[in-house]
Amino acid sequence: MARASAGALAHLPVAKVTNLVRAMEDLKEAGYWLVGLDETAEKSYTDIDYTTPTGVVMGGEGNGLHELTRKRCDFLVSLPTTGPVKSLNVSVATGVVLFEALRQRHGKRNQ
């Protein structure tokens, strides 16, 4: 994982958890909104307010979110695509959503 990150891993806090669902519940108790990416979701990723404490939940390549994980999310969102491509790979989708969060947070600071 560290080699693929091109050095960004050294600047980001990373936590490993044994039980993802329990970790999600802990985040919710701490005041985070959890946004899950799901290609079948009707809401767009741009419809969410990322200026509040937000956790972005990504599924696995091909399988998406597990049902228990999906149920713990406050919002399910999708990234719109056109043509025969129904979804982006998880790393690209993550980058798109994190950029949107950064864009919103940067805009809020300048208001």
Is the pLDDT at 1 greater than 70, yes or no?
A: no
User: Tens digit of pLDDT for each residue in 47-71?
Assistant: 999 999 999 999 888 788 999 999 9
pTM, to two decimals: 0.83
Residue 63 lies in a domain: yes
Is the pLDDT at 19 greater than 60, yes or no?
A: yes
Residue 58 lies in a domain: yes
The DSSP bridge partners found for residue 94 are: none
- Residue bearing the bigger pLDDT, 77 or 7: 77
Q: Quick one: pLDDT band at residue 7, thresholds 50, 70, 90? A: low
Dihedral sign for Cα 28, 33, 36, 41, please: positive
Domain of residue 77, residue span: 19-109
Residue 1 lies in a domain: no
Question: What is the number of other CB atoms lying within 10 angstroms of the CB of residue 38?
Answer: 20
Per the structure, the count of domains in the chain is: 1
In the chain the first and final C-alpha atoms are separated, in Å, by: 37
In whole angstroms, give the CA distance from residue 15 to residue 4: 17
